Amino acid sequence: MATRYSVQRTNSRATPVVKNPSNNLGARIRVAHSVYEASSLASGDVIEMFRLPDGARLIEGSLAHDALASSTTLSVGHAAYSNADGTAVSAAPAAYKAAAASTAAQKVDILATLALGSGTVLDTDGDGAMVTVTMGGAAGTGTIECTIKYATD
């Protein structure tokens, strides 16, 4: 049986030691949390929940909501922004959670897989990235709450 090392462990074993980014090891966890009270929120409407800072390592998150109405869905993603080299990054309304039914009250994970952004580091032009929740399917009414845990230092 062989011992294998993560990238971070390999860095600490190197000669000379390679310093790991502070958002990888020993980071302080921060929380972004926002609540929106929807009143006949139309399908296709986008709610800007909060802005995450440049360099944030996305750890985990959740989306909680009331039973919004029959045929409604919610997705979580980000608005368009520019990365550090000035390249435009398109809005991705389902980058962190694909659209799923919001017909019953529940709390679900976002950033739940690598493909949905778990562990990614935001590379923005310094302005950060706006996290969005998008209504789909039909109009809905009720409370929508989004929370993301992230590390910057």
CATH architecture of 22-151: Sandwich (2.60)
pTM of the model: 0.88
Which is higher by pLDDT, 6 or 65?
65
Domain boundary assignment for the chain: 22-151
What is the distance of C-alpha 140 from the center of its chain?
22
Would you state the pLDDT for residue 8? Answer: 86
83 has a pLDDT exceeding 90: yes
Q: How high is the mean pLDDT of the chain?
A: 94
pLDDT, tens only, 66-79: 999 999 999 999 99
25 has a pLDDT exceeding 80: no
